[in-house]
């Protein structure tokens, strides 16, 4: 459709100030805060769920892709219309519809700005913890689509832990509510599925958010270190000791200096690394918390510890921290911000590896990141944005960093999403079976690929090979011992149309065998703690582990039980 | 310079490259809050300027529309972590657009009249003020309400005039210090300020005298040139700047002004003229609040009972980065309680002549400001700029608030027992 025809068609159900098709105006929507670019064919700014619904039906009819966008602060190209189509900007749907103080929930439109919501909640004694560095501008809808994190997510969890329900428009124009203001609904967890799906499954028109009590008191401390490794080791030690401060943020010397120049927060500009540690809770508990952490810091050669004396001082420290990425352009006009996660016990070693890689590629790097989450954000500086050869070099270094993170059992993204930027890394992290499962979900929600096409998974993964035919079990009670065995058994049962019921009950206690040719599938063999990662604060257990059983480190391969269960 | 010379200039190009598109400027931008579109936010305007610089968009159409809609308040500069010199980039782009454009005869006439015949001629402005005051007193301005819709702009201009125009004009001359002599300063009185808000200038001179300064109201001074410059008329701005630099060449400790917009322009003279005399001039320019906050030799003693909220002048706060001094002065006044706005960094919609050129947008921005003012329940609304003063005065009437609009120095003047009595 040419711009005039497109505009004309959209004006059948939208007002003139909601539709833009002038290419000159649209070039301002070609990008987000990352490096990827793509020119949309049009921009629409819906004001209500009804308009979103009409828009999706229109898009179905005309086969025009829709790319949802909040404030365009994303870093992975999630809101970039690289395959054309319309940008659906939610900035005007920005109301906080309701705050239930007693229920501790908020009902908000997707365009509400993260910090505006939290500012509104503060006087009510409530708190919405996910606080991405972009929170001054970024929207709740965008935060949900990317499953955003932030400094306080170390203690409080990421966006998905605070989304209780969503109002959605599906790709066929249906409106549905999934979840809601309460904790549990008897339905599939669509809320969890759509959160982090980057606009590829549905358009969000409202969200129910979980709120918590605002901590009655907060203390923020800065600690200086002479090496990055010492700081990294201090972070690992704090976590290993079981302490959970509200934040554990790290910046290196380059970053400290550049941020201090802009924000004047009193950062120690001659330190090689600084940690921003925040503790919260009852006022009387704070000094003890600080002292406990300070002791570990000193043991790792932390020095010049300074606690913010006033709320204004504290606010300035965070203002500085959250301006870091932008401030870097005082060193170079642009940068590539790598977002990877490693288990927290690997932090110091991973930092050293990143520096090695950058040295090898002769790149300048600055570090600012959520150390407590093991979420690194090396910023690779690009002195000349027009130098394609250099950018290629930067991207190659980025790839090496990602590969190193994966080798350490990490992730290709900590919080910025996959979008365009990371999609070609997906096969490095997931098996073909896992990619295929994701694609199957996408096809169910959006069979014609109209919702943010090309993001996360650019094209259908190859079809899976068939399972080798195995003999159909004759017993009515099966106790498989590996995930592979579970998969083969299920495939074999499916080919002959027999049903399986999964049970965690011990085989000897199962009474009547299931009727009509069905079988019991017992998870009894998947019992026990597979891995207890004390330093990284997680445990992997088999699906058949009795809840009451004390954690011991013995058992089989990674995640064996969990995988078996989800296939069943 | 041609439009292309300006757009390809290395300083312009590297300034644009400073932007990393992080989007942290969006919430600071008053027009983004009105339109919620990228084109009406700093990041999008910078993208349009970059496209123009690379020849990807023409200089009329979208580029001009969205740069015209920019208030030029520079709030984005204050919050920009990357240090993008937005104000300077905007000026360059506007000059480029003007260089390409042929204005209509009517527009040329109005510009010629305003920029050459009126603003630089404070004597004419004073006479015009007296005539206007006379017309107001016989009730002629009430008739403006009955003008047909086609004369909307005139109607709005009439609404922006203060209901009582002061005639307390400040004449050139030397005003002696009161008590111990502490120094010698020059006073820049501005053009519209002297015509419509003469009492603010009078109060400024008195407060300086009261603190021991010999105040020289230098003859031959003229309009600062801000209006011409922001409208893309660089030649006129340069001419006025040269005139002022020459007029203030004497031996003064400081060149004091009391309007944020004028002060910001005066401080631009070094960049505009690029010579040693201009740099020497700029080194001495200070806003009256900036100067006095460090030199309040006599603490004010007369209580001024009430609540005051301070409406920052954007060009004082964001362009000159003067934030604390006016607040410290207000806090020094006995009996006066200072209540901050929730968004003190947001423009009131005056923005030079923006409220005349974009009345609908300016009114939405003003209403947001007045809602903020209303919730403070202030009895005084203090300002530090001519345009803000007039705009907020209009806003207070529009919102029927029971608050008196003043310049910060007027309150100080009251607290020294001079000037108008606290009401």
Task: State residue A493's pLDDT score.
Answer: 84
- pLDDT per position as a tens digit, A437-466: 999 999 999 999 999 999 999 888 888 877
CB hemisphere CA count around A466 (13 angstroms): 6
Confidence class of residue A273 from pLDDT cuts 50, 70 and 90? very high
Disruptive mutation site among A30, A71, A325 for chain B (greatest number of B CBs within 10 Å): A71
Contacts of A116 in chain B (CB under 8 A): 27
Output the six-digit token pair for A316. 């300035």
A326–B82: do the CB atoms touch at under 8 Å?
yes
Q: Within an 8 Å CB–CB cutoff, is residue A446 touching chain B?
A: no
Report which of B422, B387, B417, B413 is spatially closest to residue B292, judged by C-alpha positions: B413
The 10s digit of each residue's pLDDT in A374-403 is 999 999 999 888 899 999 999 999 999 999
pLDDT at A227 over 50: yes
Quick: pLDDT tens for B53-77. Answer: 999 999 999 999 999 999 999 999 9
More confident residue, B247 or A498: B247
* Residue among A22, A91, A137 minimizing CB distance to B24: A137
Domains of chain A (ranges; CATH) run: 217-325 (3.30.70.2190), 332-424 (3.30.70.2740), 477-567 (no CATH)
Q: Point out the residue among A24, A29, A89 whose CB comes nearest to the CB of B62.
A: A24
Q: What is the pLDDT of residue A552?
A: 46
What backbone phi and psi angles, to 5 degrees, belong to A468? -65, 140
Cβ under 8 Å to B: A residues 36-95:
43, 45, 71-73, 89, 91-92, 94
Rg (CA), chain A: 25
CA distance B305 to chain A (A): 28
Question: Is B23 within 8 Å of A22 when comparing Cβ atoms?
Answer: no
Neighbour tally for B195: CB within 10 Å: 25
Query: pLDDT tens, A90-126?
Result: 999 999 999 999 999 999 999 999 999 999 999 999 9
Neighbouring C-alpha atoms within 13 Å toward the C-beta of A500: 28
Judging contacts by C-beta atoms under 8 Å, the chain B residues touching residue A43 are 37
What is the per-residue pLDDT for A478? 85
| Contact across the interface for B36 and A45, Cβ inside 8 Å | yes
A27 and B48: CB-CB below 8 Å? yes
d(CA B57, CA A211): 46
Q: Contact A325/B20, CB-based, under 8 Å?
A: yes
Q: What is the pLDDT of residue A418?
A: 95
Q: Do A329 and B26 touch (CB under 8 A)?
A: no
Q: pLDDT band at B150, cuts 50/70/90? A: low
Question: Does the CB of A341 have a partner CB in chain B at under 8 Å?
Answer: no
| Confidence (pLDDT) at A331 | 86
pLDDT at B107: 86
- CA dist B139 and B274 (Å) reads 49
pLDDT tens-digit profile of A24-38?
A: 999 999 999 998 999
- Average of per-residue pLDDT across B120-127: 88
**Does the model's ipTM exceed the 0.85 cut?**
yes
Q: Is the model's pLDDT at A553 over the cut of 70? A: no
pLDDT tens digits for range B74-112: 999 999 999 999 999 999 999 999 998 888 888 888 888
Token pair 């310079």: residue = B1
User: Which regions of A286-332 does DSSP assign to beta strands (E)?
Assistant: 303-307
B61 Ramachandran zone, left/alpha/beta (phi>0; psi -120 to 50):
left
Q: Which one is predicted more confidently, A464 or A310?
A: A310
Q: How far apart are CA B339 and CA A394, in angstroms?
A: 50
CA distance A113 to A94: 7
Alpha-carbon distance of B277 to B292, in angstroms, equals: 25
Give the pLDDT of residue A514: 56
Closest CA to B71 of B382, B409, B363, B377: B363
- Predicted local confidence at residue A565, as pLDDT: 33
Q: Are A449 and A468 in contact (CB under 8 A)?
A: no
Do the beta carbons of residue A40 and residue A29 sit within 8 Å?
A: yes
Name the percent of chain B lying above pLDDT 70.
96
- Residue A566 in this model has a pLDDT that exceeds 50: no
Q: What is the average pLDDT across B118-136? A: 87
Residue A494 has pLDDT above 80, yes or no: yes
> Using CA atoms, how far apart are residues A76 and A456, in angstroms rounded to an integer?
10
pLDDT at B392 over 80: yes
Residue B324 vs residue A545, higher pLDDT? B324
| Tens-digit pLDDT profile for residues A33-74 | 998 999 999 999 999 999 999 999 999 999 999 999 999 999
> B421: pLDDT confidence band, cut at 50, 70 and 90?
very low
Q: How far apart are CA A378 and CA A358, in angstroms?
A: 10
Task: Name the pLDDT band for A148 (thresholds 50, 70, 90).
Answer: very high
Q: Is A436 helix (H, G, I), strand (E, B) or coil?
A: helix
Domains along the sequence of chain B with CATH: 3-100 (1.10.1060.10), 300-415 (3.40.50.1860)
Model confidence at A511, in pLDDT bands (50, 70, 90)?
low
Residue keyed to tokens 């793509």: A38
CB neighbourhood size of A132 (10 A):
26
* Distance separating alpha carbons of residues B223 and B235, to the nearest angstrom: 14
Segment B38-48, tens digit of pLDDT: 999 999 999 99
What does the pLDDT read at residue B423? 39
Which positions in chain B touch A113 (Cβ < 8 Å)? 27
The alpha-carbon gap from B36 to the nearest alpha carbon of chain A, in Å, equals: 6
HEC string for chain B: CCHHHHHHCHHHHHHHHCCCCCCCCHHHCHHHHHHCCHHHCHHHHHHHHHHHHCCCCCCCHHHHHHHHCCCCCCHHHHHCCCCCCHHHHHHHHHHHHHHHCCCCHHHHHHHHHHHHHHCCCHHHHHHHHHHHHHHHHCCHHHHHHHCCHHHHHHHHHHHHCCCCCCCCCCCCEEECCCCCCCEEEEECCCCHHHHHCHHHHHHHHHHHHHCCEEEEECCCCCCCCHHHHHCCCHHHHHHHHHHHHHHCCCCCCEEEECCHHHHHHHCCHHHHHCCHHHHHHHHHEEEHHHHHHHCCCCCCCCCCCEEEEECCCHHHHHHCCCCHHHHHHHHCCCCEEECCCCCCCCCCCCCCCHHHHCHHHHHHHHHHHHHHHHHHCCCEEEECCHHHHHHHHHHHHHCCCCCEEEEHHHHHHHHCCCCCCCC
């Amino acid at each position: 459709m040419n711009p005039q025809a497109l505009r004309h068609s959209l004006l059948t159900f939208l007002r003139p100030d909601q539709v833009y098709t002038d290419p000159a105006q649209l070039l301002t929507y070609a990008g987000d805060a990352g490096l990827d670019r793509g020119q949309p064919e049009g921009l629409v700014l819906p004001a209500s769920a009804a308009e979103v619904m009409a828009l999706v039906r229109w898009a179905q009819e005309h086969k025009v892709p829709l790319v949802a966008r909040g404030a365009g602060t994303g870093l992975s190209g999630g809101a970039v219309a690289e395959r054309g189509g319309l940008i659906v900007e939610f900035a005007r749907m920005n109301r906080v519809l309701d705050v239930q103080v007693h229920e501790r929930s908020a009902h908000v439109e997707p365009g509400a700005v993260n910090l505006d919501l939290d500012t509104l909640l503060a006087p009510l004694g409530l708190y919405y913890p996910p606080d991405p560095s972009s929170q001054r501008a970024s929207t709740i809808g965008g935060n949900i689509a990317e499953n955003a994190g932030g400094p306080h997510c170390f203690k409080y969890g990421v966006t998905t832990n605070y989304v209780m329900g969503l109002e959605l428009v599906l790709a066929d124009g249906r409106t549905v509510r999934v979840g809601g203001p309460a904790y549990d609904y008897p339905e599939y967890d669509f809320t969890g599925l759509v959160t982090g799906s980057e606009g590829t499954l549905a358009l969000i028109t409202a969200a129910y958010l979980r709120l918590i009590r605002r901590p009655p008191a907060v203390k923020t401390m800065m600690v200086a270190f002479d090496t990055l490794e010492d700081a990294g080791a201090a972070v690992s030690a704090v976590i290993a000791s079981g302490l959970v401060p509200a934040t554990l943020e790290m910046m290196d010397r380059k970053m400290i200096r550049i941020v201090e120049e802009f924000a004047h927060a009193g950062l120690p500009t001659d330190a090689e690394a600084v940690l921003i540690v925040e503790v919260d809770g009852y006022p009387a508990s704070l000094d003890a918390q600080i002292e406990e952490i300070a002791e570990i810091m000193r043991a790792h050669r932390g020095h010049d510890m300074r606690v913010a004396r006033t709320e204004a001082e504290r606010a300035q420290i965070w203002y500085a921290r959250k301006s870091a990425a932008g401030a870097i352009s005082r060193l170079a006009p642009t940068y590539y911000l790598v977002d990877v996660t490693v288990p927290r016990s690997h932090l110091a070693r991973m930092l050293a590896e990143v520096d090695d890689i950058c040295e090898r590629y002769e790149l300048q790097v600055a570090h600012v990141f959520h150390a407590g989450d093991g979420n690194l954000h090396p910023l690779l500086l690009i002195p000349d944005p027009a130098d394609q050869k250099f950018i290629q070099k930067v991207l190659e270094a980025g790839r090496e960093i990602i590969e190193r993170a994966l080798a350490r059992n990490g992730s290709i993204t900590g919080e910025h999403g996959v979008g365009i930027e990371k999609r070609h890394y997906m096969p490095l992290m997931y098996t073909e079976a896992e990619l295929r499962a994701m694609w199957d979900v996408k096809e169910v929600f959006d069979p014609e690929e109209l919702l943010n096409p090309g993001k996360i998974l650019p094209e259908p993964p190859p079809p899976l090979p068939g399972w080798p035919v195995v003999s159909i079990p004759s017993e009515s009670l099966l106790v498989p011992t590996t995930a592979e065995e579970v998969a083969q058994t299920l495939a074999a049962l499916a080919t002959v149309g027999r049903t399986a019921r999964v049970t965690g009950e011990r085989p000897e206690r199962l009474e009547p065998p299931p009727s009509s040719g069905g079988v019991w599938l017992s998870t009894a063999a998947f019992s026990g703690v597979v891995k207890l990662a004390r330093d990284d604060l997680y445990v992997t257990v088999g699906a058949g582990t009795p809840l009451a059983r004390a954690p011991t480190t013995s058992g089989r391969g990674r995640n064996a039980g969990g995988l078996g269960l989800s296939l069943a | 310079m041609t439009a292309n010379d300006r757009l390809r200039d290395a300083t312009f190009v590297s300034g644009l490259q400073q932007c990393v598109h992080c989007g942290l400027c969006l919430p600071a931008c008053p027009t983004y809050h009105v339109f919620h579109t990228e084109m009406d936010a700093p990041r999008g305007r910078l993208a349009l300027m970059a496209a123009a610089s690379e020849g990807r968009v023409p200089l009329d159409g979208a580029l001009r529309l969205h740069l015209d809609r920019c208030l030029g308040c520079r709030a984005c500069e204050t919050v920009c972590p990357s240090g993008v010199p937005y104000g300077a980039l905007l000026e360059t782009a506007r000059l480029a657009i003007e260089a390409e454009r042929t204005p209509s005869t009517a527009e040329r006439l109005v510009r010629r009249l305003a920029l050459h015949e009126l603003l630089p001629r404070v004597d004419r402005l004073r006479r015009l003020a007296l005539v206007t005051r006379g017309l107001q007193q016989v009730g002629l301005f009430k008739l403006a309400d009955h003008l047909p819709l086609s004369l909307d702009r005139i109607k709005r201009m009439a609404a922006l005039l203060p209901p009582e125009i002061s005639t307390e004009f400040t004449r050139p001359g030397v005003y002696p210090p009161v008590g111990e002599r502490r120094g010698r300063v020059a006073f820049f009185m501005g053009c519209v300020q002297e015509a419509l808000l003469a009492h603010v200038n009078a109060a400024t001179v008195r407060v300086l005298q009261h603190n021991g300064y010999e105040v020289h109201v230098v003859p031959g001074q003229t309009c600062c040139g801000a209006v011409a410059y922001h409208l893309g008329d660089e030649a006129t701005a340069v001419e006025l700047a040269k005139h002022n630099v020459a007029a203030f060449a004497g031996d003064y400790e400081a060149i004091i002004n009391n309007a944020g917009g004028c002060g910001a322009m005066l401080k631009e003279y070094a960049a505009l003229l690029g010579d040693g005399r201009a740099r020497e001039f700029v080194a001495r320019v200070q806003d009256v609040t900036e100067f006095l906050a460090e030199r309040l030799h006599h603490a004010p003693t007369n209580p001024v009972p009430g609540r005051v909220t301070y409406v920052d002048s954007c060009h004082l706060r964001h362009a000159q980065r003067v934030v604390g001094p006016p607040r410290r002065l207000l806090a020094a006044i006995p009996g006066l309680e200072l209540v901050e706005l929730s968004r003190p960094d947001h423009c009131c919609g005056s923005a030079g002549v923006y409220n005349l050129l974009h009345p609908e947008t300016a009114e939405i921005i003003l209403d947001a400001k007045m809602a903020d003012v209303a919730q403070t329940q202030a009895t005084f609304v203090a300002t530090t700029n001519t345009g803000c003063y007039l705009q907020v005065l209009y806003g207070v009437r529009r919102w029927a608030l029971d608050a008196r609009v003043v310049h910060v120095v007027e309150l100080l003047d009251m607290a020294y027992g001079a000037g108008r009595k606290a009401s």
